[in-house]
Structure 1
Amino acid sequence: MDRHIQVPLQEQDIEELKAGDYVYLTGTIYTARDAAHKRMYDSMKKGESLPIELKGNVLYYLGPSPAREGQVIGSAGPTTSSRMDKYTPDMLDAGLKGMVGKGKRSPEVIEAMKRNHAVYFAAVGGAGALLSQCIKEAEVVAYDDLGTEAIRRLYIENLPVIVVIDKDGNNLYETASKKWQKI
């Protein structure tokens, strides 16, 4: 099922999304990779405020290449999500509702997703140049010293993703592999 969804995510959209759905996201999301996750996690543990609001928002695991002249952003493909798994349950507990990346997630992340009604989307790895065309605005909003790993606010239009894990923990990576094993 193809769906067009506005981000930040609304609870009704999260309720309706199922593993395997094709989705086009439009609106505001934030980028964050390993180093930004560690800083946010450390801040949370110290009781400090975060540089962005997590409640209802989506994080794209992305460290874009530099933009060429006339471009908003460089190549914008997803990075491997499992590298953020250590930090993700706490971020989900703080209100994060969606993540965009590639690859599997840990059982702890999946449990936190179920507990907090969140979803995990996959973007196609290797398609960073094409995905960057969906990014209409990009602005560094925190941790500028991290370079490509700085947190950016992105305005996206019709970013194509697939729901890999839905709010109930249904996991497309598992169901698809079982389906193909039967053939």
Structure 2
Amino acid sequence: MDIMINTPLTYEKIKKLKAGDRILLSGTIYSARDAAHKRLIGLLDEGKELPINIKDEAIYYVGPTPAKEGQVIGSAGPTTSYRMDDYSPRLLDLGLKAMIGKGARNEEVLNSIIKNKAIYLGAIGGAAALISKRIVASEIIAYEDLGAEAIRKMEVKDMPLIVIIDTEGNNLYKLGQEEYLRTAKN
């Protein structure tokens, strides 16, 4: 059963989600990949404000292709998340509640997710064209010069995601491996 959830993602909305839960996310999310993350952290290092308020927000690690005529956005599949690992703890400390991508995260990010009561959501890799159909509006709001890596404000409707790391640090990748090893022994 899919759990329907809307942004903004307050702790109250995400605290009951567990690793492995399937959700349908609707509302506003932001796109940003490593080039944009580097600029965001640069602004923080300079004591400047970010171009977006990330408290209780979700960042989708995506660099969409250009939209074809009549479409809101082009293919929008997830980027491998470890590319943002150096930047994520600092953004989580500022109130970021969800990161959307694919692949494992490092120990520092895992600890920061637990500390900040946030979550990491997985989007299905290889389904870029399908995911783009769940994005109903998109506008570049920062770093237009980065092209596909510009920060976009996107409206999503029933975006299918899986909770990979929940607010308590339960990690679907680790749990899945443990379950496989347990059943393989039998």
What's the TM-score, normalizing by structure 1? 0.99
Q: Deviation per CA, 1:103-152, whole angstroms, max 9, x where unpaired? A: 00010001011110000000000000000000000000000000000000
Say if 2:11 and 2:118, in contact at 8 Å, map to a contact too: no
Alignment of 1:16-95 (within 5 A): 16-95=16-95
Moved more, 130-139 or 12-21: 12-21
Q: Equivalent residue of 1:148, what SS?
A: helix
Give the match for residue 136 of structure 1: 136
The residue type equivalent to 2:87 in the other structure is Y
- SS of alignment partner, residue 52 of structure 1: coil
Deviation at 1:158, TM superposition (A): 0.1
Please, which runs of 5 or more residues in structure 1 have no aligned partner? none
Pairwise CA distance, 1:87: 0.3
Shift of 1:89: 0.3
* Aligned-CA RMSD value: 0.6
SS at match of 1:17: coil
Q: Output the CA distance in 1 between the equivalents of 2:168 and 2:52.
A: 26
Counterpart of 2:59 in structure 1: which amino acid? L
2:178 equivalent to 1:178 = yes
Q: SS in structure 2 opposite 1:181?
A: helix
Letter in 1 for 2:157: E
Q: 4+ runs of 1 displaced by more than 6 Å?
A: none
Equivalenced residues, count: 183
Give SS of 1:86's match: coil
The Cα of 1:10 is off from its aligned counterpart by 2.1
Q: Percent identity?
A: 52
Instruction: Give the distance between the partners of 1:62 and 1:157, measured in 2 at CA.
Output: 17
Secondary structure at 2:15 match in 1: helix
Q: TM-score, normalised by structure 2?
A: 0.97
In structure 2, what residue type is equivalent to 1:161? L
Q: Secondary structure at the match of 1:16?
A: coil
Query: Structure 2: any 5+ residue segments left out of the alignment?
Result: none
